Homo-oligomer: A and B are copies of this chain.
Amino acid sequence: MSAIRDRVARRSLRPGDRLPSVRSFARTMGVSPSTVVEAYDRLAAEGVIRAKRGSGFYVTGADLPPLALAEMGPPRERGVDPFWVARQSLDAEASTLKPGCGWLPADWMPHAALRKSLRTISRADDALLADYGNTRGSLNLRRMLLARFADEGMPASADQLMLTNSGTHAIDLVCRLLLQPGDAVLVDDPCYFNFQSLLRAHQARIVSVPFTPSGPDVAAFEQTVATERPRLYITNSALHNPTGATISAQTAHRVLGTAAAHGMIIVEDDIFADFEPTLSPRLALLDGLDRVIRIGSFSKTLSASLRCGYIAARKDWIESLVDLQIATSFGGPSPIAAETIARVLVGGTYRKHMEDVRRRLTRARQKAIDKLAPLGLVPWIVPRGGFYLWCRLPEGCDSTSMAQRCLQDQVVLAPGNVFSASQTASSFLRFNVAQMAHPRIYDAIGNALAAEAKA
């Protein structure tokens, strides 16, 4: 099928052309004629080709855009805004290297467990395969999450939890419930770039405070909250994106105190929790899910292809968020996807997988640090877990132009300023140590640095 698609894409087969006969194409490809028949049938089902009675298969007309689809990569010309890294990473061709992306390589994920779980689901009852599922999402998955919360010392009741389409979607729902256009929202500087995109979509006023190795700068935090009166503070308090830093117990306590004093609500995006060697002080845990809303997801640790996140919060907020998710998505995540996740979480497989991932990340982190050092890139801190490494560039280098240079070599970097609301991180790059095995990455960075020095 791909051989034919390529020919159509390369225009070596044009609309109206007759395809090679089954017999001859089978010889060409070194496969059985029945395989070719199957491939032609499927291409016909897709509309790429059509059968003409008694005269074989022909490429369909200009009504079909395989070429256009092949051409549709990420828009290279667009400015390096917070969408830039997302679009370049998500829509990259297979040959592109992505040390700037925000996820583990596919082959790090627990595939045996995922495949087994999908086979199990394929035998599930009709209702799971066909129905919308209930408004809070998979009962099995919610039970496991509540059990995990309890084990972590953060007991929550069933009406304090709901599943969502993703961690980002969870934050989006919270913003829809709690924000009005023009409201101030506090973020860390730097912070996950998509927080800024999301808040712009809500027409929120973004204010930021510097992030230190032990969490937000407490003095700046208290000052900003007092003067700007933000409605929300959105943060990753553990293994912070992009720095990998983790909030200290003292800072967490101060942050909660300040939030309480000014009636500010905190959204704790906790998607990196399972990457921690030991659980750090959690805002949601200290606060007992009163003014802190906990967000989680399985995209970083299990599969991003199953699209499932969750919200743990005050039950009156959850009740309203359930309605909001019905109004805007007619329900939560795919029940099939949620059950697939639940089945992977059952038993010890997932725990062993994460232990293995944490070990691999420790090694990969050290390797990356060692290989970046000769290039003059210095980690801001050495994170205690996770896959991010926030590095300072040599004097006078601009990370945005470096990212544009490296993109020419099919290497996607994450330049500092996409993470910085105050645009003060131009001398930083965020690396993903799990995506940096390939030497071509270091060559590209080296060349870009040399070009920067000349410029």
Interfacial residues of chain A within 91-135, with CB under 8 A of chain B in the complex: 91, 103-104, 106-109, 111, 114-116, 118-119, 121-123, 125-135
Q: Which residues of B contact A335 (CB under 8 A)?
A: 305
Measured in the bound complex, the distance between the Cα atoms of B276 and A430 in whole Å is 52
Q: Which residues of B contact A172 (CB under 8 A)?
A: 327-329
B132, A42: Cβ atoms closer than 8 Å: no
B146, A129: Cβ atoms closer than 8 Å: no
Q: Which residues of B contact A143 (CB under 8 A)?
A: 46-48, 64, 66, 69
- A90 interfacial by beta-carbon distance below 8 Å: yes
Identical copies in the complex: 2
- A242 interfacial by beta-carbon distance below 8 Å: no
Minimum CB–CB distance from A5 to chain B (whole Å) comes to: 9
Interfacial residues of chain A within 61-75, with CB under 8 A of chain B in the complex: 62-66, 68-69, 72, 74-75
A118, B115: Cβ atoms closer than 8 Å: no
- Closest-by-CB residue of B relative to A176 is B201
**Which of B150, B306, B347 has a CB less than 8 Å from the CB of A42?**
B347
A197, B326: Cβ atoms closer than 8 Å: yes
- A16 interfacial by beta-carbon distance below 8 Å: no
Which of A155-163, A359-367, A408-416, A418-426 lines the interface with chain B? A155-163
A326, B194: Cβ atoms closer than 8 Å: yes
B326, A64: Cβ atoms closer than 8 Å: no
Q: Which residues of B contact A42 (CB under 8 A)?
A: 346-347
The SS class assigned to the A binding surface is helix
A131, B165: Cβ atoms closer than 8 Å: no
A148, B327: Cβ atoms closer than 8 Å: no
Q: Which residues of B contact A90 (CB under 8 A)?
A: 132-135, 326, 331
A200, B144: Cβ atoms closer than 8 Å: no
B114, A129: Cβ atoms closer than 8 Å: yes
From known contacts A47-B147, A305-B133, infer whether A197 and B337 are also in contact, taking CB-CB under 8 Å: no
- Closest-by-CB residue of B relative to A307 is B334
Minimum CB–CB distance from A71 to chain B (whole Å) comes to: 8
- A323 interfacial by beta-carbon distance below 8 Å: yes
Measured in the bound complex, the distance between the Cα atoms of B299 and A143 in whole Å is 26
Q: Which residues of B contact A169 (CB under 8 A)?
A: 165, 328-330
Measured in the bound complex, the distance between the Cα atoms of B125 and A326 in whole Å is 33
Minimum CB–CB distance from A315 to chain B (whole Å) comes to: 10
Q: Mark interface residues in A42-70 (1 if CB within 8 Å of B CB, else 0).
A: 10011110000000000010111110110
Q: Which 7 A-B pairs have the closest CB atoms?
A: A47-B147, A63-B150, A197-B327, A118-B122, A109-B130, A106-B126, A168-B330
